[in-house]
Amino acid sequence: MTTFYFILIAVVVLALIFGVILGFASVKLKVEADPIVEKIDALLPQSQCGQCGYPGCKPYAEAIANGDEIIKCIPGGQTTVVKIAELLGVDVPTMDGVAEPEVKIAYIHEDMCIGCTKCIQACPVDAIIGTNKALHTVIPDLCTGCELCVAPCPTDCITMEKVEKDIEHWDWKIDPKLVIPVLNTSDGKAKLVVGE
Ligand code: SF4
Ligand code: SF4
Ligand code: SF4
């Protein structure tokens, strides 16, 4: 019995010593996060899709902080470019001469889907719905076109389809500071109610 208590006390003492060492190390060896990287990262969509050429949003945020171009996040699009430019206090890059990336979304050919759920597990933004042994489908509005679901599909039933620019998908590039004048004519006289 005495031996048991001795071992118990030894284990408790060792645990306390290691706890103190780990606590000390976590304070002393803490790596301070770069605040500008964190701020850029917060503006990125967090799809972790790699379309920017980096293995995720954080590495791309670090690359931007080190001077890389701010136009590489395809899911984020122009809106994200404008926000990053505002954060960094730089001009929004002109896209003259730069081909706009083709917008694509995933499409599941449901007649070939065996319901294996591999695509759901691969999708970083939960844009696929379905359940085990049932057909799956993509929610177009959530799909960022990252293609990460294509390779894992064992029946090759996922294809990337080009999104045509129609009135629903057109990027109007509206200046958020633009004030559109509105006239109130309900009492017979034109009165400017917005944009005064
Ligand atoms: S393309 Fe955009 S969303 Fe995808 S990993 Fe890069 S920064 Fe993240
Ligand atoms: S559905 Fe496929 S292409 Fe679309 S976001 Fe998910 S993984 Fe990417
Ligand atoms: S990976 Fe392919 S077969 Fe499996 S559930 Fe997704 S679409 Fe269906």
pTM for the structure as a whole: 0.61
> pLDDT tens digits, residue range 31-40?
556 799 999 9
List the domains of the chain with CATH numbers: 35-88 (1.10.15), 104-162 (3.30.70.20)
Whether the CB of 148 sits within 6 Å of ligand 2? yes
The secondary structure of residue 126, as a DSSP letter, is: -
> pLDDT tens digits, residue range 147-157?
899 999 999 99
Contact residues for 133 (Cβ-Cβ < 8 A; gap 6+): 114, 115
Give the per-residue pLDDT at 115: 95
Rounded to whole angstroms, how far apart are CA atoms 168 and 159? 21
> pLDDT tens digits, residue range 106-144?
999 999 999 999 999 999 889 999 999 999 999 998 998
Q: Are 182 and 169 a contacting pair, CB within 8 Å?
A: no
Atom of ligand 3 at shortest range from CA of 135: 8
Atom of ligand 1 at shortest range from CA of 60: 7
